[in-house]
Amino acid sequence: MHTNIDTLFENLWQNYLSVTPSAEKVHRLLGEGDTLINDHVAFRTFNIEKVNLDKLAAHFLALGYEEKGQYDFEQKKLKAKHFEHADTTKPKVFISELLVEAFSETTQNIIRNMVAQVADNASQQESFLYSGPHWQVTTEEYETLLAESEYAAWMAAWGYRANHFTVSINHMQHYHELAAVNQALKDAGFVLNTSGGEIKGGQEVFLAQSSTMADKIDVQFKDAVKTIPSCFYEFAQRYELPNGKIYTGFVAASADKIFESTNVAN
């Protein structure tokens, strides 16, 4: 049973706000009372059959989404796909999965043990998309993962939820350029991700992106509480292609840097 798209995104949004309190402030600052349109919402998972990318994607396909693009992130050892709905006011969906077999045996074992704790049919429920972690890990296991993959460590702590929401600059009332949005955020005291520059991409690749650095939130691990990065807020400006249509894809080189918005060492 699938809810409608708006209900799903509202559930995802509320779950995201619960660990990303700054997003509400950003929303108020930039929206100035108007509704902000989401460009895309991103999810993370592992390429293990029980919870892989296709399992998450199935929920969006059931709501009328279609697969539109595939991406490889060799450095981060990830694969990703993006999905779009015929109704362009509905957010695009970006789902990535970690290539577990590309990591050390220690890391693989921790991840496989985590996924083993997920109930067999859990991913078939739509609420799985915002169900958080289905496992318990120790702070030592978290640190072990972090040393090899920030993405794996984030998953260990946060599990299934929107990793970020993204404001569509193209649909904003009060701002028309990403640089102006960035300036407003900095003036209000928000810290931006500067990996690969404050603005990743630009008109030449038909997509410009920026993001805040993730909030820091207390997480209860198996053995202790630790303050770590949660989720972040992204901003995207899309440009016209030579054929006059607005570009709807993603730029792997830019996304690679956006992933670093949840890095611990900031």
pLDDT of residue 266: 45
Residues of the chain where predicted confidence (pLDDT) is lower than 70: 1-2, 265-266
Q: How far is residue 97's CA from residue 158's CA, in Å, rounded to a whole number?
A: 15
Give the C-alpha distances (Å, rounded to integers) separating 228 from 28, 59, 163.
Answer: 25, 29, 14
234-259, pLDDT tens digit by residue?
999 999 999 999 999 998 878 777 77
Over its C-alpha atoms, the chain yields an Rg (Å, rounded) of: 18
pLDDT of residue 251: 87
Alpha helix positions (H), the chain: 5-19, 21-31, 53-61, 105-116, 139-148, 150-158, 178-187, 252-258
Q: How many CB atoms lie within 10 A of CB 147?
A: 13
pLDDT of residue 262: 79
pLDDT of residue 2: 61
In three-state form (DSSP H/G/I as H, E/B as E, the rest C), the secondary structure along 192-206 is ECCCCCCCEEEHHHC
Give the C-alpha distances (Å, rounded to integers) separating 193 from 128, 211, 261.
Answer: 29, 6, 6
pLDDT of residue 68: 97
Q: What DSSP character marks residue 213? A: P
Q: What DSSP character marks residue 212? A: B
Q: What DSSP character marks residue 160? A: B
pLDDT of residue 138: 98
pLDDT of residue 265: 61
pLDDT of residue 259: 74
pLDDT of residue 252: 80
At residue 69, the 3 state secondary structure works out as strand
Give the pairing of strands 92-98 and 78-85: antiparallel
Q: How far is residue 65's CA from residue 92's CA, in Å, rounded to a whole number?
A: 9
Q: What DSSP character marks residue 245? A: S
